[in-house]
């Protein structure tokens, strides 16, 4: 599918996927401003040192994949220059949107971004872009035809982990065993930061998400299953990044606590309302 315009235009223009103000939610649809086919939602907290490279890589590949798109960076109250870097980039690259939010945590930023996004498909993307963007077409091939939610997986046949220390992998597998036993049996990797939702799935799931921290992925998948949505795992190539925001010990404890809370909420029928 050929792009209707380039995501690398030299100046800011009003076009199909351009927001005119970074802090104003989109208004009603019109023929002049069409809803994008794909929204990339990037939660960002203190990512000034790498968010520019991530945006450049995405803007280089998206025009070849879909006609209309947006890259929505949800700044989670960063204390560095993340917002300034994104705002400057958005000024010269159509389709890039800065969504400022108060600091809540990754889950809170993702929830806000998914509900503000305008795309028929909404792709959660980590700010470090540890998955090559060339993997995106494989997600798009599955939704909505075969799945309502497609989750990238670093496990299973065909998956590739590049450069990850062994101890990080082992800790992740221990945590995933806990998640499978308490919350989402049968899913090999709930924590990979790349997930695709249809518009309908995102708008059904994220108003019900209550976790502002790292375990929001697990809650979102529990909700998807409770709602009877089709969830599909997709093995991907994934590259370890040294500057991860996750603390293996502290955050693992907090996430384990949240998994127990999610199980209790599910047992009480909180996600069915």
Q: What is the per-residue pLDDT for 12?
A: 35
Q: What is the per-residue pLDDT for 252?
A: 77
The Cα–Cα gap between 273 and 267 comes to: 13
Q: What is the per-residue pLDDT for 17?
A: 41
Q: What is the per-residue pLDDT for 190?
A: 92
DSSP code string of 89-110: HHHHSTTEEEEEE-S--HHHHH
Q: What is the per-residue pLDDT for 249?
A: 65
Q: What is the per-residue pLDDT for 175?
A: 83
- Helix (H/G/I), strand (E/B), else coil: 76: strand
Q: What is the per-residue pLDDT for 21?
A: 38
Cα three-residue angle 71-74-79, rounded to 5 degrees: 130
The distance from CA 15 to its chain's CA centroid, rounded to whole angstroms, is: 24
DSSP code string of 230-248: -EEEEE-EEE--TT-S--T
Q: What is the per-residue pLDDT for 36?
A: 75
Q: Is the dihedral of CA 264, 268, 272, 273 positive or negative?
A: negative
- From first to last of the 273 residues of the chain, give the pLDDT tens digit: 333 323 333 333 233 343 433 544 433 333 334 557 999 999 999 999 999 999 999 999 999 999 999 999 999 999 999 999 999 999 999 899 999 999 999 999 999 999 999 999 999 999 999 999 999 999 999 999 999 999 999 998 899 989 888 877 788 888 888 888 899 999 999 989 999 999 999 999 999 999 999 899 999 999 999 999 999 999 999 999 876 666 666 777 888 899 999 999 999 999 998
Residue 59's nearest CA partner among 73, 48, 69, 47 is: 69
Q: What is the per-residue pLDDT for 238?
A: 92
Cα three-residue angle 177-256-260, rounded to 5 degrees: 95
Burial class (CB in 10 A: 0-12, 13-18, 19+), 259: buried
């Amino acid at each position: 599918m050929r792009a209707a315009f380039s995501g690398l235009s030299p100046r800011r223009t009003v076009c199909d996927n351009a927001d005119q103000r970074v802090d104003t939610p989109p208004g009603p649809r019109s023929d002049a401003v069409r809803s994008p086919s794909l929204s990339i939602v990037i939660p960002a907290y203190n990512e000034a040192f790498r968010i520019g490279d991530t945006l450049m890589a995405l803007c280089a590949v998206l025009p070849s994949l879909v006609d209309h798109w947006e890259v929505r960076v949800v700044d989670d109250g960063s204390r560095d220059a993340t917002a300034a870097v994104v705002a400057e980039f958005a000024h010269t690259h159509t389709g890039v949107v800065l969504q400022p939010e108060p600091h809540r945590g990754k889950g809170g930023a993702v929830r806000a971004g998914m509900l503000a996004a305008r795309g028929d498909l909404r792709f959660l993307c980590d700010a470090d872009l540890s998955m090559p963007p060339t993997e995106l077409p494989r997600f798009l091939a599955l939704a909505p035809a075969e799945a309502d939610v497609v989750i990238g997986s670093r496990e299973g046949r065909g998956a590739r982990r590049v450069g990850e220390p062994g101890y990080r992998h082992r800790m992740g597998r221990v945590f995933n065993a806990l998640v499978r036993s308490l919350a989402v049996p049968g899913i090999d990797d709930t924590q990979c930061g790349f997930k695709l939702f249809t518009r309908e799935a995102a708008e059904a799931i994220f108003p019900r998400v209550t976790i502002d921290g790292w375990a929001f992925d697990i809650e979102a998948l529990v909700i998807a299953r409770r709602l009877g949505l089709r969830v599909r795992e997709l093995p991907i190539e994934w590259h370890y990044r040294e500057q991860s925001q996750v603390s293996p010990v502290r955050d693992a404890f907090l996430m384990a606590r949240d998994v127990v809370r999610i199980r209790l909420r599910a047992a009480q029928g909180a996600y069915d309302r």
